[in-house]
Structure 1
Amino acid sequence: MKVLVRAAVALVVAFVAAVVSLLAVVLVDIDADATEISGSGRGGLKGVPEEFRIWILKASAACSEPELAPALLAAQLYQESKFQTSREQATSHAGAQGPAQFMPGTWATWGRDDDESGAASPWDVGDAVMAQGRMMCSLLKKAKHSGYSGDVRALALAGYNAGWGAVERYRGVPPQSFAGGETYNYVQIILSTMTRFQGPGLLEVSGSGNGADALRRAATQIGTPYAWGGGSPSGPSTGFCDGVNGYLNGRCSASSTVGFDCSSLAQYAYWPDLHLPRTAAAQYGATSDRPVSRQDLKVGDLLFWSHGGSGSIYHVALYAGDGNVLQAPRTGRDVEVVPLTSAMPERDYYGATRP
């Protein structure tokens, strides 16, 4: 974008797989079409500052073009500003501003107050990343309709860096002779560094209804760190330590970790359609009049684990289909999708409810 100013034992194995498959059929109602963990498509995200992560995922999800993967946006932001947000570090010699390096004229077209701070600013991470996503989404559409050969992602990146007029002039990515090779190198670097930011596949949720919508919302947080006491309906936040919980290797990790704990993730998933209380025990109490047997689980159902009785519930997770759950497990781990049978000790499984 800066040039705009200037011009991601075979029998044993088979036997074990068969046993596991059989157990899954016995224990849960498998719905093969409900969800899948996919390594293809847009994929997950890793290696970005937490303040950028949620907005990158939102910007990717808001675009109907599947090529706008989170890893592509992350690699582009790293190339533009290395995720810097200060005016000193994220202002180019030509006047491009913020982590996504928008010129004032371009910002006037794409900038919005996405973080609802009261003003649209290229210095606000949320506003900048969402504007970047909108512009890239539009450029991807142009690239697809242009008829120009080559990777549509490369064409869109070239348009972001040098302006779509330069792409039209060369009917593709401008050559190395253009602008000292800046646009050509910009495209090559971003596409080659995407894998650095490519995380595990995101959970893809089909279907409709409160449960599917809640699971879909929670799935955007896969890879977010666990923070005891952290998280709210607004998203991840730092937590706290209470003398027992929130510690890692002898120090209070929660107070410096932006993330969710198990119950704040469930609360976030259902908000604002359903206002679940804050703790796992209270969430069970609020939904226990709608119990669900293990054989009848559906996506979005809440699952609970206890040390003994409803008064000792210590963990909640969302059913993700196919015998899996989505959960924020414990300090030192991230929001993840794991088999129900191994999410927590099997003996502690207490039951499920449907919010």
Structure 2
Amino acid sequence: MLTGAAIAVVCAIVVPLVALIGIVLLDGDAKAVETNDGGGGLQGVPVEFRPWILKADEACPEPEMTPALLASQLWSESKFKTTREEATSYAGAQGPAQFIPGTWATWGRDSDGNGEASPWDIGDAVTAQGRMMCSLLKDAKASGYGGDPRALALAGYNAGWGAVEDYRGVPPRSFAGGETYDYVHAILADIPRFQGPGLLEVSGSGSGPDALRRAAARAGTPYSWGGGTPSGPSTGFCDGTNGYLNGRCSASVTAGFDCSSLVQYAYWPTTKLPRVASEQYGATSDRAVSRDALQPGDLLFWSHGGSGSIYHVAIYAGDGNVLHAPRTGRVVELQPLTSAMPERDYYGATRP
């Protein structure tokens, strides 16, 4: 448990709401645009969907399942909309993954741990989508039907596996006015736009590169104020100011890292750094590094004024980028050093 004094420096910034939005721009029905996404093979996805897509993909052993496939399918289903007004179909399908109640009863789970299994909750919906698609991919490969198993699975998601069996493949344009046929082809065609770079590739050996590799494997993990341990992500807490998202205590139901717990996790157990950013600076300040001599794994700090006011820490990732957990509502991601935090607040770097 963190003390009251420690809480004050656990890596979060209270910023105007306008600063928390803007990572994703939805340009009508044209394209979802996301800034540096931190890898993970995914781009162009609203930040609140990203960790759940990655989690759903990781849970499925079928190689045909990819984050970009799930993202493209969500785009086709709902354009990542989550309100009842925007994400309820004429047929009664609900939520961002468009589940009808009967199908939801089979695949829905309380994946986000909020006490309710709901097709309107992003985490619940996306992980249910992943479970259903994973099962359909298995059915597709066992069926002996020709064609891309992804296409067969998508057709089963849209029209039911019975329709795929009836046609021994993707139903033709003559079926249901071409809805299923067009659905399958649109999703497969859109996959490339959601394919992002892979996880950060780190060369070299030693404690710095090793720590960076360990942290990079957590790209896409949600930010959770006060969350994270040397063993991995954990739920955090709210302190009256920090940890809230849209008026709710996000940290208490979000398993993730804050900035300093990510750093602690990255270096543990080779180097057992303290828990909070200011103490991490104090433990490494005798090994200061100038900005023009940074190496992968170095720690960078931002402060409101002096070492006692350090509020954020990040890991240098090379090529002018940092890997960090920025704030509530975001995920562990790669960003340019110059824009990761306010440039005027940059305090210095150290080498653990």
User: Which TM bucket (shorter chain)?
Assistant: 0.5 to 0.7
Alignment of 1:250-261 (within 5 A): none
Partner in structure 1 of residue 189 of structure 2? 192
Contact 1:85 1:125 in 2 (8 A): yes
Q: Are residues 187 and 352 of structure 1, via their aligned partners in 2, closer, same or farther at CA, if it must alter by over 3 Å? A: same
Question: Which residue is equivalent to 2:299?
Answer: 303
Does residue 144 of the first structure (1) align with residue 136 of the second (2)? no
Partner Cα separation in structure 1 for residue 202 and residue 135 of structure 2:
25
Aligned identity (percent) is 59
Q: 1:90 to 1:338 in 2, by over 3 A?
A: closer
How far residue 60 of structure 1 moved from its aligned partner, in angstroms, is 1.9
Are 1:174 and 2:168 counterparts?
no
1:102-159 per-position Cα deviation (integer Å, ceiling 9, x unaligned) = 1222111111101111011111111001100111122222223333222222111111
C-alpha contact (below 8 Å) 1:58/1:130 kept by paired residues? yes
- State the match for 1:318 in structure 2: 315
| SS, match of residue 124 in structure 2 | helix
Q: In the TM superposition, what whole-angstrom CA distance separates every residue of 1:169-227 from its partner, at most 9, and x where no partner exists?
A: 22221111111111110001111122333333333699xx997554422x1259x9xxx
Query: 1:42–1:69: 8 Å Cα contact kept in structure 2?
Result: no
* Pair 1:126-2:123 in alignment: yes
- TM score, norm. by length of structure 2: 0.60
Structure 1 residues 1-355: aligned runs within 5 Å: 43-48=41-46, 50-203=47-200, 213-217=214-218, 219-220=219-220, 233=227, 264-268=258-262, 277-278=275-276, 280-285=277-282, 288=284, 303-304=299-300, 316-318=313-315, 326-327=323-324, 335-336=333-334, 350-353=349-352
- State the superposition RMSD in angstroms: 4.8
Q: Residue 232 of structure 1 contacts residue 268 of structure 1 at CA under 8 Å; is this kept in 2?
A: no
Letter in 2 for 1:220: G
Displacement of 1:232: 5.4
The alpha-carbon distance between structure 1 residues 269 and 67, as it changes in their structure 2 partners (threshold 3 A), is: farther
Q: Distance in 2 between matches of 1:185 and 1:94?
A: 17
- The amino acid across from 2:351 in the alignment is A
- Please give the per-residue CA displacement for 1:256-300, whole angstroms capped at 9, x wherever unaligned: xx9xxxx9334257579999644x323334x5499899xxx999x
Separation (CA, whole Å) in 1 of partners of 2:302 and 2:41 = 33
1: CA distance between counterparts of 2:97 and 2:201? 28
Aligned to 1:15: none
d(CA) in 1 for partners of 2:136 and 2:288?
47
Aligned length: 276
Which residues of structure 1 form unaligned runs of 5+? 1-40, 225-229, 237-254
> What's the CA shift for 1:81?
1.6
Structure 1 length-normalised TM: 0.60
The alpha-carbon distance between structure 1 residues 101 and 305, as it changes in their structure 2 partners (threshold 3 A), is: closer
Amino acid at match of 2:164: V
Say if 1:265 and 1:192 are closer, same or farther in 2 by CA, change over 3 A.
Answer: farther
- Measured after TM superposition, the shift of residue 163 of structure 1 is 1.4
Give, as a single letter, the amino acid of the residue that structure 2 aligns with 1:171: R
Q: Deviations over 1:46-71 (max 9, x none)?
A: 243x2222222222222223332222
